[in-house]
Structure 1
Amino acid sequence: MALELHTLDTGGEGTPLVVIHGLLGSADNWRSHIKQWQDKRRVVALDLRNHGRSPHAEGMSYREMADDVLAVLDRLEIARCHLLGHSMGGKVAITVARFHPQRVASLVVADIAPVRYGHDHDAIFAALRSVEAEAPSNRREVDALMADHVPEKPIRLFLATNLVRDDESVMRWRLGLDQIQAGYEDIRGEPDGDVPYEGPSLVLRGARSRYVTDEMLPRTREVLPNAELVSLDAGHWLHAERPEAFQAAVDAFLDQVGDG
């Protein structure tokens, strides 16, 4: 059964842009982009299950997460949308487009390919669990605990966006961490669905990222046969590293596609 996801909705006319974050992210990560896009179109950003302000539940398959997204579209009476997903959210977006192409005017997939990846998050999960075990009282303590596992400061800052303070002034994760780890095999797998999405697509990749290598492009073309490929001088979090270039590429693509 689909969950009722938390959403940010700017309102407005025309075909909406629906934004789906990646693993351990949330709709809040997209607020600066939403401020730019909302001048031109309605924008809806959502928190996937076990992320942000959305409910926690077992099951992290792409079909289950896609059904959650479809329920958002139904609840908001969105018959057709432009769908943008980063990383894990890109696989969710591909799954929605494969099963419900009539609901997707266009697809933007940011730095992910429709392939199975390795166990790339072991150190991150260890960092999150160390914070959970120690129950720190401030962000400085959280950062010191995570640094033992994750030396990259930008990644630690990104993870820290998931912190909340509980009633006892302890810093806690708002993530459904148990459910995410239990579903990690599904998360690192391919999007669900057996048919290609033949609508207009844009694949944005970071030139310094290893998530969309040249070797992955043939499989990407099989799943998204009409995809345009654009590379930005960035790593995996290309929308945060190169926000203006990212927005320009998305805007150019959506202007070309129109309201569909």
Structure 2
Amino acid sequence: MRSLEFRSGGATLRYDATGHGTPVVLVHGLSGSGRWWRRNVPALSASHRVYVLDLAGYGQAYRQRALGVQGAADLIAAWLDHLDLRQVALVGHSLGGHISVHVAARRPGRVTHLVLACASGLLRGTPYRVALNLPRAALTGRVTFMPRILADTVRAGPLNVWRSTTDLLRDSVQELLPALSTRTLVVWGARDALVPPSMGRALAAAIPGAQYEEIPRAGHVVMVDAPERFNALVLAFLDGPVPDAPAEPSPPPAGQAGGEEA
């Protein structure tokens, strides 16, 4: 993949692109990087043009201050406009899913599919509580992935991680969800100790027509813990038939008034 750069409003977003077809944009989570999608890109790029982002302050874009949720959403929305991407599928993990909800709300004409993987948009608490849950979250996931998590966290630096954590806990997507018109798949790891599955079910229930899938024995980094199942779910969602819209209620027979009888 060829690494590219986009700048807007003083912030820089880095991205790689590979494959051909309708665009799929992968948005990593807190303290992460585009490398977290390495087990997913080959399967997705076989039938789609896949863009792997590094958010400002992280990955290849680490030499800058991390943006908050709103700022990151603005930057991604501007990037979509710059490339004139249409029929976009946004796939966001954790903080990336949180940001992706805002992008979908900002660009409903561009984003047609939304995949939220263990997204943080309804998470509440304090940065200290999140920090206390991190060791348990790591232990419920793929242990061999820990070196990548640690390397990306060190590269981002404690200030960026702290800023991002504080900001995401202040931002809620609750009010945006009922108005989302984007087809949405919510995917969760059944063993997620950072953002519990109950939050995933609540997220899906609040989005009209959203599909919820829970993967057994997977933790918070669900696309790494169970890549084959995750890839299959995403591809079936992206390439499968569009579900029928709910049928309109039949009108009452002629001459019969609606409502309760007197």
Give the alignment's TM-score, normalised by structure 2: 0.75
Matched, 1:208 2:198: no
Q: Structure 2 CA distance, aligned partners of 1:113 and 1:220?
A: 13
Please, which moves more after superposition, 213-222 or 16-25?
213-222
Alignment of 1:1-260 (within 5 A): 1=9, 3-13=11-21, 15-58=22-65, 60-112=67-119, 114-118=121-125, 119=127, 120-122=129-131, 153-154=143-144, 156-162=146-152, 173-191=154-172, 194-195=175-176, 196-210=179-193, 211-214=195-198, 217-222=201-206, 224-233=207-216, 234-256=218-240
Q: Structure 1 CA distance, aligned partners of 2:26 and 2:182?
A: 18
Query: Using a 3 Å threshold, how does the CA distance of structure 1 residues 216 and 7 change in structure 2: closer, same or farther?
Result: closer
Q: Which amino acid aligns with 1:248?
A: A
Query: Using a 3 Å threshold, how does the CA distance of structure 1 residues 79 and 216 change in structure 2: closer, same or farther?
Result: closer
Stretches of structure 1 lacking an aligned partner (at least 5 in a row) = 128-149, 164-172
Please, which moves more after superposition, 174-183 or 77-86?
174-183
Contact 2:95 2:121 in 1 (8 A): no
Q: Which amino acid aligns with 1:62?
A: V
Please, which moves more after superposition, 92-101 or 192-201?
192-201
Contact 2:119 2:200 in 1 (8 A): no
Contact 1:25 1:162 in 2 (8 A): yes
Q: Structure 1 CA distance, aligned partners of 2:130 and 2:174?
A: 25
Query: Using a 3 Å threshold, how does the CA distance of structure 1 residues 183 and 111 change in structure 2: closer, same or farther?
Result: closer
Stretches of structure 2 lacking an aligned partner (at least 5 in a row) = 1-8, 243-262
Q: Matched residue of 1:40: which SS?
A: coil
Q: Structure 1 CA distance, aligned partners of 2:173 and 2:75?
A: 14
Q: Structure 2 CA distance, aligned partners of 1:218 and 1:235?
A: 18
Q: Matched residue of 2:191: which SS?
A: coil
Q: Structure 1 CA distance, aligned partners of 2:38 and 2:32?
A: 12
Query: Using a 3 Å threshold, how does the CA distance of structure 1 residues 49 and 117 change in structure 2: closer, same or farther?
Result: same
Query: Using a 3 Å threshold, how does the CA distance of structure 1 residues 24 and 99 change in structure 2: closer, same or farther?
Result: same
Q: Which amino acid aligns with 1:204?
A: V
Please, which moves more after superposition, 33-42 or 107-116?
107-116
1:221 Cα offset (Å): 2.5
Q: Which amino acid aligns with 2:116?
A: V
1:8 Cα offset (Å): 0.9
Match of 1:167 in 2: none
Contact 1:17 1:42 in 2 (8 A): yes
Match of 2:256 in 1: none
Query: Using a 3 Å threshold, how does the CA distance of structure 1 residues 155 and 35 change in structure 2: closer, same or farther?
Result: closer
Q: Structure 2 CA distance, aligned partners of 1:59 and 1:257?
A: 38
Deviations 1:229-255, CA, capped at 9 Å, x for gaps: 011111111111111001010011001
Query: Using a 3 Å threshold, how does the CA distance of structure 1 residues 198 and 229 change in structure 2: closer, same or farther?
Result: same
